[in-house]
């Protein structure tokens, strides 16, 4: 379980997030939406451990979040998550090898074979079994994002953080990626946090929708107030409802 208690994040005199409180059970899929620049990516970086809250606490299973990113939390960004100079297979193997072979970055013998099997199995799950020796520039955008997902998931993270992972993809490819992500989510029971600018994508995919918004705005001092989670909407019950929770959203929600 992830618990966020009264978290604030400030950069200099700019308040980006204020009074964020949240409790998320294992296995939830949280879609996060909000106006551009309101702090969604910052929130993901806090969950990743890449940034520390200015105030407040983030607890993972009751214990403070480790101060640095670790294998418990995988991350996929909109672009550039993969290493361009490594083959598809090496991109996925790297994460498995590095913790055991810090200096060479490579495993040998039986351990390497086991790691290779794991990497190939994961690449097969995301539909890249035929592209093991290709390099990222030889892949389509959708394939690159499949690779980025495989790279994150092979580490068996408990939490997957996705920052607009499908934002750069064509609609048809996006739909394929949605199906793949839902399949992987159901298979693994992962907890997922996904930032999206696409409200429909958020409602279709998530089990919960989190809306970030600034409640207070001072035109004289744009950085004085930060965003909060203004809506926290469970979606399971509502997903198939004809008008769904989207109908309840404020018109002013500019995404
Ligand atoms: N390292 C940093 N140093 C200073 N300011 C930062 C830093 N990171 C983010 N910010 C500021 O924090 C605010 C929130 O940025 P963030 O990228 O989290 O927003 P976002 O909601 O993800 O935006 P978008 O939807 O456009 O991706 C922005 O005003 C940004 O300039």
SS3 content of the chain, % helix, strand, coil (to 5): 35, 25, 40
Specify the residue with its C-alpha closest to ligand 1, atom 18. Answer: 39
| Centre of ligand 1 from the C-alpha of residue 167, in Å | 17
| Centre of ligand 1 from the C-alpha of residue 40, in Å | 8
So what's the pLDDT on residue 89?
Answer: 96
Specify the residue with its C-alpha closest to ligand 1, atom 31. Answer: 37
So what's the pLDDT on residue 108?
Answer: 65
Confidence of residue 244 (pLDDT cuts 50, 70, 90): very low
Model pLDDT for residues 112-129, shown as the tens digit of each residue: 888 999 999 999 999 999
Q: Which regions of the chain carry the CATH code 3.40.50.300? A: 1-72+158-255
Which CATH code is given to the segment(s) 1-72+158-255?
A: 3.40.50.300
Model pLDDT for residues 215-224, shown as the tens digit of each residue: 888 888 888 8
CB 203 within 8 A of CB 244: yes
CA angle 92, 96, 100 (to 5 degrees): 150
Q: Is the pLDDT of residue 241 over 60?
A: no
So what's the pLDDT on residue 105?
Answer: 60
Model pLDDT for residues 123-178, shown as the tens digit of each residue: 999 999 999 999 999 999 889 989 999 999 998 888 999 999 888 888 888 888 89
Pocket of ligand 1 from Cβ distances under 6 Å: 11, 16, 34, 36-42
| ipTM of the complex in this document | 0.96
Model pLDDT for residues 54-83, shown as the tens digit of each residue: 999 999 888 888 877 777 777 777 666 789
């Amino acid at each position: 379980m992830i618990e966020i208690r009264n978290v604030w994040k400030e950069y200099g005199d700019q308040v980006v997030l204020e009074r964020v409180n949240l409790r998320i059970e294992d296995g939830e899929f949280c879609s996060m939406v909000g106006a551009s620049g309101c702090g969604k990516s910052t929130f993901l970086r806090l969950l990743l451990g890449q940034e520390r809250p200015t105030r407040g606490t983030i607890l993972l299973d009751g214990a403070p979040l480790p101060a640095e990113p670790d294998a418990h939390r995988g991350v996929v960004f909109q672009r550039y998550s993969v290493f361009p100079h490594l083959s598809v297979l090496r991109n996925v193997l790297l994460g498995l090898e590095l913790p055991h072979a810090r200096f060479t970055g490579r495993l040998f013998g039986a351990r390497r074979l086991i790691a290779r099997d794991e990497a190939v199995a994961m690449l097969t799950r995301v539909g890249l079994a035929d592209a093991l020796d290709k390099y990222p520039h030889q892949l389509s955008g959708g394939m690159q994002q499949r690779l980025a997902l495989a790279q994150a998931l092979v580490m068996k993270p408990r939490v997957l953080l996705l920052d607009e992972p499908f934002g750069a993809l064509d609609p048809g490819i996006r739909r394929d990626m949605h199906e793949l992500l839902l399949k992987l989510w159901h298979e693994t029971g992962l907890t997922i946090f996904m930032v999206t600018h696409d409200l429909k994508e958020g409602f279709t995919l998530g089990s919960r929708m989190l809306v970030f918004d600034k409640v207070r705005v001072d035109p004289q001092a744009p950085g004085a107030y930060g965003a909060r989670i203004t809506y926290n909407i469970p979606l399971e019950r509502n997903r198939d409802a004809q008008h769904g929770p989207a109908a309840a959203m404020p018109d002013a929600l500019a995404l």
